[in-house]
Amino acid sequence: MEIKKESKFIKFFRRYGVLSLTCVFCLVIALVVGLTVSSGKGTPVSTGVTTFSLPMENAVIVKDYSDERLQFNESLNRWEIHLSIDLSSENSGVFSVADGTVTAVNSNSLEGDSVEISHNGGFVSIYSSLSDNLEVAVGDKVEAGQKIGEADSSASNESKSGTHLHFTLLKDGVEVDPNNYLDLENK
């Protein structure tokens, strides 16, 4: 009489086969459910993305935001990053992008006249290269779309760009790309 030796694999499978198949089946079910929910077929979730109104009507981007690629500044005759967007429009009116409080009004030769507005969520909008006839002062409460001034060519560091708005957006004190928050159709 011959005694057959079973391989360790067959022995293991006979003993734990049902358990192993059950685990594999559960893993497949979990993956299918996970992929279905992440593909957007589940309940919508708010991403908390803030969108602001435009600071100028019918604006076009003259010089775009760039935190990595150098752009040539004709006025200063040098290459630099540009942590703002420059906007131009036939109507030179400049408007607050959201409700907020005017926290600073400045004037210097490089950036021209500028207005800084603090908004909810840690956002601050800065409007530079404005004319000196501003319509707001420090401490004023402003609403989204409220006129704050007129675009001009008062910023000597971008004087060759002509009349435009130099718009900067900060989130928690750091410059962010305004394109991610403004609905710029004419980009």
Q: How far apart are CA 25 and CA 27, in angstroms?
A: 5
Cα-to-chain-centroid distance, residue 118: 16
Per-residue pLDDT for 89 more than 70? yes
Name the more confident of 36 and 167: 167
149 Cβ partners below 8 Å, 6+ apart? 94, 113, 115, 127, 130, 131, 133, 134, 135, 136
Q: Using 50, 70 and 90 to split pLDDT, how confident is the model at 186?
A: very low
Per-residue pLDDT for 3 more than 70? no
Name the more confident of 67 and 25: 67
Per-residue pLDDT for 48 more than 90? no
Per-residue pLDDT for 16 more than 80? no
Segment 145-163 shows an average pLDDT of 82
Model pTM? 0.69
Name the more confident of 3 and 103: 103
pLDDT tens, position by position, 99-153: 999 999 999 887 889 999 999 999 999 999 999 999 999 999 999 999 999 999 8
Per-residue pLDDT for 85 more than 90? yes
Least confident range of 28-42, 51-65, 66-80, 137-151: 28-42
Name the more confident of 4 and 105: 105
Handedness of CA 145, 149, 154, 159 (dihedral sign): positive
Question: What residues pair up with 124 in beta bridges, in sequence order?
Answer: 118, 170
Name the more confident of 67 and 40: 67
